[in-house]
Every structure is written in C-alpha cells, then in structure tokens.
Amino acid sequence: MIDANHVRLPGRPKRSLGQNFLCDPNIARKIVAALAIQPGDVVVEIGPGRGALTELLMESPAGRVIGVEKDADLCPLLHRQWPGLAVVHADALRFAWERLDRLKNVRIIGNLPYNVASPIMWELVSRAAKFTRAVFMVQKEVAQRITARPGTREYGGLTVWLQSFAVAQKLFSVGPAAFRPAPKVDSAVVAFTPRPDALRPAQPAGLAGLVRRLFCMRRKQLGRILGEELSDEAKNYLESQGLSFFCRPEELSPLQFDNLLKYISK
C-alpha cells in the first residue's frame, strides 16, 4: 500500500495561497478511492501541493495525470519527483475548464484552499460538462451548503448554481489533525457528477444573475424583489409548482430557478 507521507516535497505552507497540506495517508487513500479511477482515465488534480494525493494518483491505473498548481516554487519540484506528471503552472480560478471537454474520461480531484474553493467549483461545474466525476475536499460548512435542500438554512446561491449543473454528494468528514498546518475548522469531501446536456441550464449567464440577485435579498418575497418583472406567465408557473410570489428565494429548487428565468419579463 502506498504511503501518502512517503513523498513530502520541501517548502512551508504559504498563507497567501491558503495552503493546508494533507498529511494523513489514510485520508489521502480514501479520497483517491472515491474518485473511482479506471484504466486510461485522464485525472486532473487541482493544487497538488506537496504530493499527498499525487503519489497515489501516479500509482493508479490513470492513463494520464495533470496537476494544476499555482505555487511557482512547487511546480519544478513536482515535475522532478514525478517526471510523468504533466504540471501546469496556473491559477485554478482563471483556468479554462471548458478545455477539458476536448478530452475523454476526465476525472478531477483536489484538496481545495478554503478561501477559493467556492469560486473554483462555481466556474468548473458550469464550464466543463463532459468530465466523469469530481472529488474535492472543502470546508465542512461549504460541503453542507453544496448539498443542502430547499428551505434549509444552508441552502443558498452556491447550492442552486452547483446543483443546476451537477449532482452533488457529501462523502465523509475530515478533522483538522489531517493537515499541516491544522485548520481551525473541519473539512469534508464532496463528489460531483455532471448533469446531461439536456438538463443543464440553457441560459447560464441569466441564471447566475438571477441567483445572485435573489439571494442578496433572500429574506424578501419574490414579488418584492422582482416587481413588474414577475410576469403573469411567471406567476402561473409558480402556482403550478405550489409556490407564489410571496415565496422567498430559498423555497425554490434549482430546476424551479431555471424554469422561472424563462418567464421573467425582460
């Protein structure tokens, strides 16, 4: 069995990059196992860091492993340790995730920095549609928001957006002791499976604007937020769903958000 601590690249965690390096080999194996890598898969790791997951990925049946690393100091060390690893020096927040759709059998994995995890996932699931599975470690509170149901306290704009493009599942929790330095909060591992093209939002830009607008005023009623934009067709749609313009944003499911957009007056 590969020990995730076998390779520990030098370098101190950089607070500016939100680095908390995974150091628990059992958790590393559990995360990689959750990705369910098949022979010949292309695996993209976001933020390889000091290689806790990379070591296992390179020993997996993957046909190709690509590491997207922002830390310029770690990139040459990663390539030197694993010459077969394709290291891309890039910021995941600015990466062209739609380019992954050119590849077949893509799986994505990463221990995402807390401070940028949400925007990375926001961009990735909406711009890449053909990946097979993605597994990320994030702050536990964020994992609860990702997988929340309508009407709950955790349900919000991030929930609606991510669940509009992918099926999200919380897999397991991870305590602070698994990292160096140890964060002050718990983490959790989540998995995403992209929805078929026919079930993805037809107007992503419009949906993003609607989601942000409504959840900025989540305690207000839809009728008060949208006003005259809430057309008769929109009101009829809400009624058909057992809802009304007196409802608040957190009462609508991701699909209802997408459908409501079609009826809002421009």
Q: What is the pLDDT of residue 12?
A: 53
Answer yes or no: is 9 within a domain.
Answer: no
| Residues contacting residue 62 through CB under 8 Å, at least 6 positions apart | 37, 40, 41, 42, 43, 107
Q: What CATH number did the domain enclosing 91 receive?
A: 3.40.50.150
State the residue for tokens 């053909």.
130
Which tokens sit at 86?
Answer: 């394709």
Which of the listed residues 171, 199, 227 is the one where a domain comes to its end? 199
Which residues of the chain, if any, have pLDDT below 70?
1-19, 265-266
Closest by alpha carbon to 108, among 36, 43, 37, 201? 43
The CA-atom distances, in angstroms, between 89 and each of 39, 49, 68, 194 are 26, 12, 6, 26
Query: What are the backbone dihedrals phi and psi of residue 238, each rounded to the nearest 5 degrees, phi first?
Result: -60, -45
> Residue 140 contacts by C-beta under 8 Å, 6 or more apart in sequence?
173, 185, 186, 187, 188
pLDDT of residue 13: 47
Is there a domain that residue 69 lies in? yes
Query: What is the pLDDT, as a whole number, of residue 125?
Result: 97
Q: What residues have CB less than 8 Å from 183, skipping those under 6 apart?
A: 20, 114, 139, 176
Report pLDDT for 21: 78
Of 169, 199, 229, the last residue of a domain is 199
Question: Residue 50: which domain range?
Answer: 15-199
What pLDDT is attached to residue 79? 92
Residues 112 and 165 both lie in one domain = yes
Q: For the domain that residue 232 is a member of, what is the CATH number?
A: 1.10.8.100
State the pLDDT at residue 68. 97
Do residues 29 and 141 share a domain? yes
Instruction: Using alpha carbons, list the distances in angstroms from residue 19 to 35, 41, 203.
Output: 22, 27, 35
Give me the long-range contacts of 98-102 (CB less than 8 A, separation at least 24): 98/127, 98/128, 100/44, 100/128, 100/130, 100/131, 101/128, 101/129, 101/130
From 148, 165, 199, the end of a domain falls on: 199
Order of strands, edge to edge, in the sheet holding 42-46? 86-89, 64-69, 42-46, 106-111, 133-139, 187-194, 166-174
pLDDT score recorded for residue 8: 52
In a domain, 3, yes or no: no
User: What pLDDT, on a 0 to 100 scale, did the predictor assign at position 5?
Assistant: 39
In a shared domain, residues 181 and 210: no
Q: Using CA atoms, how far apart are residues 165 and 154, in angstroms rounded to an integer?
A: 19
pLDDT at site 14: 45
